[in-house]
Structure 1
């Protein structure tokens, strides 16, 4: 290890002072790959009182993935030494201690990839993070250069999931991703989008290409994905990551002040945020939701949404009726 890297680690450890050093990791065993038309298997019994984060199998491999992760948009795009940056080690502590692993980033998120790489580098041994990022540019060589930069910023030799962001120049990037997957540099490949206006194109790509993941917008008040995209993902054996799980921010504001349903305690939900996330991960096509935050308290609250029983169809319909 070079002197400059040692200096970086010492500086980061100083910035992270006060963050807990002990992490409780939970590695769920990978299950058997289910048929594409069946709901991917869930690990954890989901019983009341169970404190273990639920996982759902990735259809293409059978690997179990914890059902709540974290998005790094805005929350991780902060300067080292700032008050916001000093909170981030604890955000990751809360994610990992709860049994979560997925950290989603992108080159378009400012400093987020670099912050993620710096923070993960201070954990000894290396954290169990499932690293997901994106390529978001045109041209083969430009895409390769951008993805190589992501490896450097994330300080890793392998990225778990590389996604073609917003389908930008996807036909050009997909052969590169497939080649890197064969080489073991990336483990899974996928596409992303965040608006219903793109669903026709998303569906066309899912039908034409074999992919491991789709990242798409889905929230209690943004359910257009339910009609065709989610059923198609189940049919094609594609894992689904939910972005914008709180509907862009307005959902929780509208629910704030309303009493929780009487059955909330039965599913171990103590807040509207937890119910909104449980609504998503209770859908059989959804593999993981990635609420973004740079706040340890919110991370802990969000992670707890994947603990205990999932929602019944009747409970999901009650929540839909509340938001209209």
Structure 2
């Protein structure tokens, strides 16, 4: 099956976030225009469909990298990770109670960041039961040292029918700004699709990588149809993708799209899809954060360039 199955004509996509841009494109390979001009200093942004709020297209995931205590030597690198994110215009920091100490570490670092951080805080509820969910989310507020969380997500759809009413109530009250669901495996796509069709949501966080493109068939088109923002987790395919690409020469056109490394190119491949709002590669290394953020600058890929990368990974 080709990656353009289901699309028989070129369509018009209207993107609104401040100014409105109209692009004619093949939906499977569309490059979304920045939602506002940044003069090249800050990374591009995409509009969150439910609000038209511009969101920087590269963030950071805190799984493993932020699950460290202050006494751990790796902890001292984390303030520079956040500084690298913010200096490039990024804001999205994604965490979860599932990630050990990551929420607490994030809260500690943001509390001492000067100037005041522009973080877009995303975390998750990951437990069963209404009261248990409320208790866990209240704990997230404390650990993150905030009175408002930008995005609360139901992690891996665990007991989602129970948690969703609480999330909707808290959104109405202004405690959280957006609500969403997450998953990380193709075996859950049928359930993800059913929830997306049944419930109005602001965000879906889902696995998508150059070598893991299953969401292109139904999930991403559905998100575009339903007006749901998409955050890509596992954007390097769990790690083995970069190992397979290591040592291979970059395509000759890489510099034309502002790319100097395979990690940047792997991220830009995802960002070229019109349904993708943001990617969140995880790292505790400031150099990698700077490199990852670089994918948020410059032109997106053409359909031919995208197909060439698919051929590289086989």
User: What TM-score do the two structures reach when normalised by structure 2?
Assistant: 0.90
CA contact (8 A) 1:31 1:57 kept: no
Partner of residue 275 from structure 2, selected from 274, 285, 288: 285
**Paired residue for 1:31, among 2, 8, 18?**
18
Provide the residue aligned with 1:137 in structure 2.
127
Query: Would you say 1:203 and 2:203 are equivalent positions?
Result: no
Whole-angstrom distance in 2 between the partners of 1:269 and 1:46: 18
Structure 1, residues 236-265: CA drift from partner, whole Å, max 9, x if none?
000000000000000010011110000000
* Whole-angstrom distance in 2 between the partners of 1:168 and 1:31: 36
| Alignment partner, residue 7 of structure 1 | none
Match of 2:62 in 1: 72
Instruction: Report the counterpart of residue 148 of structure 1 in structure 2.
Output: 138
Q: Does 1:248 align with 2:238?
A: yes
Deviation at 1:51, TM superposition (A): 4.5
CA distance in 1, matches of 2:72, 2:262: 30
CA deviations 1:187-245 (Å, max 9, x no partner) are 00000000000000000000000000000000000000000000000000000000000
User: Alpha-carbon deviation of 1:33?
Assistant: 8.7
Measure how far apart 1:124 and its partner are: 3.5
Q: Is residue 308 of structure 2 the alignment partner of residue 318 of structure 1?
A: yes
Query: What is the aligned partner in structure 1 of residue 223 from structure 2?
Result: 233
For the residue of structure 1 that corresponds to 2:99, the secondary structure is: coil
Q: How does 1:75-224 map to 2 (within 5 A)?
A: 75-224=65-214
The question of whether the paired residues in 2 share the 8 Å contact of 1:52 and 1:308 is answered with: no
Shift of 1:125: 3.9
Structure 2 stretches lacking a partner, 5+ long:
1-15
* Number of residue equivalences: 292
Provide the rounded CA distance (Å) in 1 between the counterparts of 2:127 and 2:220: 27
* CA deviation after TM superposition for structure 1 residue 83, in Å: 1.3
**Compared with structure 1, are the counterparts of its residues 32 and 202 closer, same or farther at alpha carbon in structure 2 (3 Å cutoff)?**
farther
Tell me the residue number matched to 1:6.
Answer: none
Give the TM-score normalised by the residue count of structure 1: 0.87
Compare the two structures and name the one with the higher strand fraction: 2
Q: 2: CA distance between counterparts of 1:278 and 1:195?
A: 21
Local SS of the residue matching 1:259: coil
For the 8 Å contact 1:34–1:59, the answer to whether it is kept is: no
Following the alignment from structure 1 to structure 2, what is the Cα–Cα distance between the partners of residues 61 and 33? Answer: 14
Cα RMSD of the aligned pairs, angstroms, is 1.9
Listed as ranges, the gaps of 5+ residues in structure 1 are 1-28
Pairs within 5 Å for 1:249-288:
249-288=239-278
Alpha-carbon distance in structure 2 between the residues aligned to 1:150 and 1:185: 12
Distance 1:190 1:34, change over 3 A: farther
> Segments of 4+ in structure 1 off by > 6 A?
32-35
Residues in 1 aligned to 2:154 and 2:133: alpha-carbon distance in whole angstroms:
10
